Chain A
Amino acid sequence: MSISIEDVEHVAKLAKLVLTDEEKEKFRRQLSDVLDHAKRISEMDTGETEPTSHAVPIVNVFREDERRATLSNEEAVSNAPWAVDGEFKVPRII
């Protein structure tokens, strides 16, 4: 399965990546290879197989509705590249 340059550009946009033309072509080839490899799985007959979303046979893992310690706002923003008065500061959105 071969994907187009437009597909690469779309995925790059969704991932917020800026790619050069050379990179786009490189990733187009690499992503195509990955997809071709994965395509082999779809050749298998899985008619009798339940779709697997989780690999472990465990369900219903809950916590009780109880509060735990929180961070202070200084701690909360301590790793942020940009913060003011305990709030995360982000560049213009639109």
Chain B
Amino acid sequence: MDYLTTIGLEIHVELLTNSKMFCGCPADFGGDPNTKTCPVCLGHPGSLPVMNRKAVESTIRLGLSLNCDISPRSIFHRKNYFYPDMPKNYQISQYDIPLCVGGCLDVEMEGYARKVGITRVHLEEDTGKSLHVGESGRIHGADFSLENFNRAGVPLAEIVTEPDIKSPEEARAFAQLLRSTIRYIGISDGKMEEGSLRVDANISISAGEELGTKVEIKNMNSFKALQRALAYEEERQRKVLNEGGTIVQETRHWDDAAGITHPLRSKEEAFDYRYFPEPDLLPVEPEPAWIDELRESLPELPVARAGRLKSEYGLPVEMVSAIIAEKALADFYEEALKSGGDPREIAKWIAGDLAALLNEQSVDISGSPVTPAYIGELVGLITKKTISGKMAKDLLKETFSSGKSPAKIVKEKGLLQIADEDELMSMVEKVIAENPEAVEDFKNGKEQSLKFMMGQVMKMSRGKANPQITSDLIKQKLS
């Protein structure tokens, strides 16, 4: 039976601030346990929280980036529960009046676009970290746990999407686009591996209009894991339904090593958080002028930039997605375009070979020894047929390791491509004379033998032969 997949995401983003959400303790990662704590984030009686202006601004900027309405009045609530990672036994969060509501993000897929609704963006505080001590090394069967509250109170924005996502691939593309957006506006470093970006997913499948029972999945620590976990869960639910079973509403844990989800054994009671307005914090009523100011502080966002690159330079979706993923990379690309080279070629070299070299050497684009101008120069050399594409690959590597400009290396090494017809013809004639079998095959219509002879000429010229002219000459000679 065919099933429709429905996915909604809940994403937590740790905001980049100097201090915590409600107190002046450092909000950065690490440090000895409990050295970034004070009476406020330890929940001591009598201490009072005060909102961090920057965290509120970051959340409003995020909401604006996701096309949300900013609530004219917003309040904080206490979410009550007993768990030792919250020293107060409640988390300060937002409930029915979050800072931002009702936005959307358009995700460009291969051949179509998916509009994903944003239900809300709210602000809350992060929890502390528990270390479970015991033979199992896990919460189940632990002897005791150690609590470190350095992270407790770090500002956290939560984004909730509408169930508009229809496949694991779309979920991944959405999460990646959201991460890019977050990084463009500079509110978080968005590192999934380090937990500053955490994605939980709700997924259900249904045969008809009525939505199926949803299952929540947690613990995906990379975009790849998100897609794999959802694909696994989609298939698991399909099997259950096909065998006449029913889906149980539950939270499942993704085990990346095993490639499966398994149910989290938690207490079987519906959560009753007893939300009530936080009396220690006053409402937020953002002035329109303040919102305008924050809106103006936003850079061109990934969605807008992708649209512009697509329409101005005719780049294909996949290439655009690769280029716009990081603001620095997109800036690099547009800088390289100033050389006047072919936009597609330039994109190809940046998203392809250069990205691979950077990745290999773990260098960030901002620290690339190959400058945007060098990429422009490289593409120019190819277009002018001074060098072949094959030579360009090696040339880029050399530019990367030496930091010298491609034109300079070409000059120093005499790497000029051979485009002189007489010179090439003498090589072609030699190859034809030495390979009678290949010549025979070619005459019998074997395409493969042309490539073989091309290869021989390339070998003879040490890769410098102009491939187009060489190919034309061989065909001309043998026709």
Query: B17 within 8 Å of A by Cβ?
Result: yes
- Compute how far the CA of A58 lies from the CA of B75 in the bound complex, rounded to whole angstroms: 12
CB pair B18–A65 under 8 Å, yes or no, is yes
Give Cα A91–Cα B286 distance, bound, in whole angstroms.
43
Residues of A4-36 whose CB lies within 8 A of B = 10, 14, 16
A70 touches B277 (CB 8 A): no
* Residue B468 CB within 8 A of the other chain: no
Number of A-B contacts (CB under 8 A): 132
Interface assignment of B460: CB less than 8 Å from any CB of chain A: no
Residue interface bits A41-78, CB-to-B below 8 A is 1, else 0: 00000000000011010111111111111111100110
* A93 within 8 Å of B (CB atoms): yes
* The 3 A-B residue pairs with the shortest CB-CB distance in the complex, in nearest-first order: A68-B24, A62-B53, A65-B54
How far in angstroms is the closest Cβ of chain A from B403? 38
Query: Which residues of B sit under 8 angstroms from A86, Cβ to Cβ?
Result: 32-35
Q: Which residues of B contact A64 (CB under 8 A)?
A: 53-54
Tell yes or no: B139 within 8 A of A by CB.
yes
A-B contact pairs, 14 of them (CB 8 A): A53-B277, A65-B54, A65-B55, A68-B24, A68-B25, A72-B35, A76-B42, A84-B146, A87-B34, A88-B146, A89-B146, A90-B84, A93-B83, A93-B142
Question: Which one of B34, B144, B284 lies within 8 Å of A90 (CB-CB)?
Answer: B144
Residue count of chain B within 8 Å CB distance of chain A? 55
Counting chain B CB atoms within 10 Å of each CB, the highest count among A65, A86, A88 belongs to A65
Complex interface: chain A residues within 8 A of B140 (CB)? 94
> A89 CA to B33 CA in the complex, in Å?
12
- Whether, in the assembled complex, A40 has its beta carbon less than 8 Å from a beta carbon of chain B, the answer is no
Q: A62 contacts B50, CB within 8 Å? A: yes
B32 in contact with A92 (CB, 8 Å): no
- CB-CB nearest in chain B for A72: B35
Which one, B80, B147, B274, B277, contacts A87 given CB within 8 A?
Answer: B147
Could you tell me if B282 and A59 are in contact, using CB atoms closer than 8 angstroms? yes
In chain B, positions 36-68 with a C-beta closer than 8 Å to chain A are 36-39, 42, 50-56
Known: A70-B25, A90-B145, A93-B142. A76 touches B50 (CB 8 A): no
Q: How large is the interface on A (under 10, 10 to 19, 20 to 34, 35 or more residues)?
A: 35 or more
B149: which of A63, A67, A76 is its contact (CB, 8 Å)?
A76
Q: Digit string of B129-146 for contact with A (CB within 8 Å is 1, else 0)?
A: 011100000011011111
A60 and B57 CA atoms in complex are apart in Å by 12
Contact assessment for B37 and A87 in the assembled complex, using a CB-CB cutoff below 8 Å: no
Cross-chain contact A70 with B35 (CB below 8 angstroms): yes
Q: A70-B37, A87-B148, A93-B145 known; A65 and B139 CB under 8 Å?
A: no
Across the interface, name the chain A residue whose C-beta is closest to B140.
A94
Find A54's partner among B19, B24, B34, B282 (CB 8 Å cutoff). B282
Whole-angstrom CA separation of A53 from B19 in the bound complex: 27
**Which residues from A are CB-within-8-Å of B142?**
92-93
Contact of A65 with B36 in the complex, beta carbons under 8 Å: no
Given A54-B75, A54-B283, A67-B24: 7 more A-B contacts, CB < 8 Å? A54-B279, A59-B283, A60-B286, A71-B39, A76-B37, A88-B34, A93-B83
Q: How far is the CB of A16 from chain B (nearest CB, A)?
A: 6
A14 with B33: CB separation less than 8 A: no
Which B residue sits closest to A87, measured CB to CB? B146
Contacts of A91 in B (CB 8 A): 144
Q: Does B389 contact A (CB under 8 A)?
A: no
The answer to whether B19 and A65 touch across the interface, beta carbons within 8 angstroms, is yes
| A61 contacts across to B, CB distance below 8 A | 50-51, 281-282
- Name A58's contact: one of B33, B149, B282 (CB within 8 Å): B282
Determine if B33 and A67 form an interchain contact, defined as CB atoms under 8 angstroms apart: no
- Chain A residues with Cβ below 8 Å from B42 are 71, 76
In the assembly, what is the distance between CA of A18 and CA of B35, in Å? 35
- Contact for B25 among A63, A67, A73, A85, CB less than 8 A: A67
Q: B18's contact among A60, A67, A90, by CB below 8 Å, is which?
A: A67
Q: Which residues from 228 to 283 on chain B have a C-beta closer than 8 Å to any C-beta of chain A?
A: 265-267, 272, 274, 277, 279, 281-283
Instruction: Please tell me if the beta carbons of B285 and A59 are within 8 angstroms of each other in the complex.
Output: yes
A90 to B86, CA, bound (A): 12
Known: A84-B146, A86-B34. A54 touches B277 (CB 8 A): yes
Contact of B23 with A by CB under 8 A: yes
Chain B contacts for A54, CB-based, 8 A: 75, 277, 279, 282-283
Question: Which residues of B from 425 to 453 have beta carbons under 8 Å from A?
Answer: none
Q: Whole-angstrom distance between the alpha carbons of A67 and B33 in the complex? A: 18
Q: Does B369 reach chain A (CB closer than 8 Å)?
A: no
Q: Find chain A residues with CB under 8 A from B285 CB.
A: 59-60
By a CB distance below 8 angstroms, the chain A residues around B455 are none
Contact status B145-A62, CB under 8 Å: no
Chain B: minimal CB distance from A42 (Å): 17
Assembly CA distance A87 to B26 (angstroms): 18
CB atoms of B32 and A68 under 8 A apart: no
Is B283's CB under 8 angstroms from A70's CB?
no
Q: Say yes or no: A76-B34 contact (C-beta < 8 A), given A61-B282, A62-B52, A66-B18.
A: yes
B residues 292-317 near A (Cβ < 8 Å) are none
